[in-house]
Amino acid sequence: MRIPRESSGPWRVTAPDYDAVTFDPDLQARRLRVLLRPNVVRGTVVRNGDGSPLTGVVVRAEVAGVPVVSARTDEQGRYVLRGVPEGATLVFEHEDFAALKLPLAPDQVVADAALKRDVLRGMLRDSSGQPVQGYVAATAGWTQAGPDGQYRLKGVAPGERIVVKAPGYRVVEATVPESLTLDVTLEPLVVRAIYINAVVASRPEALEERLQLVDRTELNAVVVDLKDSTGQVYYDTSVALAHEIGAVRPVLRPAELVQRLKARGIYTIARIVVFEDPILAEARPEWAIKDRTTGQAWRTWNGVAWVNAYRPEVWDYNIALAREAASFGFDEIQLDYIRFPTDGPLQKADYGVPHTAENRTAAIAEFLKRVHEALLPTRASLGADIFGLTMWELSDSGIGQHLETIVQQVDYVCPMLYPSHFWAGSLGFEIPNDHPYEVMLWSLENGLSRVPEARKKFRPWLQDFSYGPGKPYGAEEVRAQIKAVYDASLDSWMLWNADNVYHEEALEPGAS
């Protein structure tokens, strides 16, 4: 190239596949040297291991995380990127392979890559070979199998641990094989439980008495309080907030308790009461429901303060406790009082947001969704206690519990279908408490008719106590409820008695 001395600049030098350069030449110099930077990068992308070419890989040049240019590999795994800026990083992405980032060296024009597969595929089946629409979870993420049982989980590597869960089936833990293909057969789970409060669980003789009842009968599970409606946390938790607010009453050693129960083949359920938590409400008044007339904490007729179910800080506290319970080895975390209050001067309750049915339902659903997702990588399933009325009421009953919404967010739905809690005249009975079989059966059938696809999620609480008008409850009334569960084509149930005293005569003997 010759530049006449009488020429004036600036001058621009261009060439295919190079960045243009603009300069003012030193016309007194006899020779000029112009350096052009290549801006085209080529390469081949192959499968790590066998070296076979990968088609359809997106190759993108980024600067400071901002995409600039991109291309896709062809059938031979080749790509060409034009206009690649200086200091760029190449990103290689494919739906079946782990993403790879490759910073470019100055003047680098060839960048080959080998991608590792990171997608686990397979099918979930029951013992008869039918597809199961369960969850497959790893530390980095989770997925749900489709109606055909097929699943696809991205972001895993051979040797990694995964957990497979589905309502009505035992949880399976597995290791990702080198083939990244894993079919799983799930075994059915039947749960027949009694409730044990923290005080009884903390007393060896009292606990042993209940466990012997389990040993002798068809029972195979227990529900144990870790946090109840007083707000007390009954073990030395690692959740700092519980200590800060004075909620800790360490009478239990959960990990040891779980180990003891599992040694006897008992399915373990940790009960956590959520929104009736007066300790948290008093210690963190900004998280409590407010009384709109006083600006102070709103209270029930019994003077109990509730936390505000719209507050994410309250959600986080209970999620942390649920995750910790899972770490102790509990098979299931059961949440109770997942609702807004029902008694007290409700017209004075101020939640800081419009307290509409839509907002109430959304808040409860979002909380349950977050708990469920937090538990997915663990062995613990999620259960939710709901009012028995929820099986009949098409709205949220003013408490945020809407059946069709809740069943989508949890593994197990536990309606508290106590006949004594139905109003006089309900279901056509002057005293519903006198009709345990009909109240249980009709309620289950009505709820199941609304969400037939969720049948395996239902596990009702049964009444093993006397309360209110009508007959006292004994073995006959308890067995009538159990029969109703079976006649509704369900196989799991739980018995509730606040004092943990149960009618053994209502139960079938255990397997010898």
Strand-pair category, 40-47 with 113-115 = parallel
Give the span between the Cα atoms of 351 and 290, in whole angstroms.
Answer: 7
Which of 339, 326, 433 shows the shortest CA–CA distance to 371? 326
Give the span between the Cα atoms of 486 and 314, in whole angstroms.
Answer: 37
Residue 9 CB: number of other CB atoms within 10 A?
12
- The strand pairing partners of 82, in sequence order, are 40
Residue 107's pLDDT is what?
86
Give the model confidence (pLDDT) of 365-406 as tens digits. Answer: 999 999 999 999 999 999 999 999 999 999 999 999 999 999
Residue 3's pLDDT is what?
57
Residue 27's pLDDT is what?
57
Give the span between the Cα atoms of 276 and 345, in whole angstroms.
Answer: 16
493 has pLDDT over 70:
yes
Taking residues 172-184, what's their average pLDDT?
97
Taking residues 316-327, what's their average pLDDT?
99
Give the span between the Cα atoms of 374 and 382, in whole angstroms.
Answer: 10
Residue 7's pLDDT is what?
61
Which of 242, 377, 250 shows the shortest CA–CA distance to 321? 242
- The strand pairing partners of 238, in sequence order, are none
Helices (H), 453-500: 475-487
Which of 460, 418, 421, 229 shows the shortest CA–CA distance to 336? 229
- Confidence band of 458 (pLDDT split at 50, 70, 90): very high
Strand-pair category, 248-252 with 233-235 = parallel
The amino acid present at 113, given as its one-letter code, is A
Give the model confidence (pLDDT) of 408-454 as tens digits. Answer: 999 999 999 999 999 999 999 999 999 999 999 999 999 999 999 99
Rounded to the nearest integer, the mean pLDDT of the chain is 95
Give the model confidence (pLDDT) of 194-241 as tens digits. Answer: 999 999 999 999 999 999 999 999 999 999 999 999 999 999 999 999
E-strand stretches of 183-326:
184-186, 192-196, 221-227, 233-235, 248-252, 267-273, 290-291
DSSP secondary structure code for residue 506 in this structure? G
Which domains does the chain possess? 40-115 (2.60.40.1120), 119-186 (2.60.40.1120), 192-506 (3.20.20.80)
Residue with tokens 């060409």: 80
Residue 465's pLDDT is what?
98
Give the span between the Cα atoms of 479 and 485, in whole angstroms.
Answer: 10
Give the model confidence (pLDDT) of 245-275 as tens digits. Answer: 999 999 999 999 999 999 999 999 999 999 9
Please measure the distance between the N-terminal and C-terminal CA atoms of the chain and give it in whole angstroms. Answer: 100
Which of 305, 309, 371, 307 shows the shortest CA–CA distance to 335? 371
Residue with tokens 């006083």: 294
Q: Which three-class secondary structure state does DSSP give residue 417? A: coil
Give the span between the Cα atoms of 235 and 330, in whole angstroms.
Answer: 14
24 has pLDDT over 80:
no
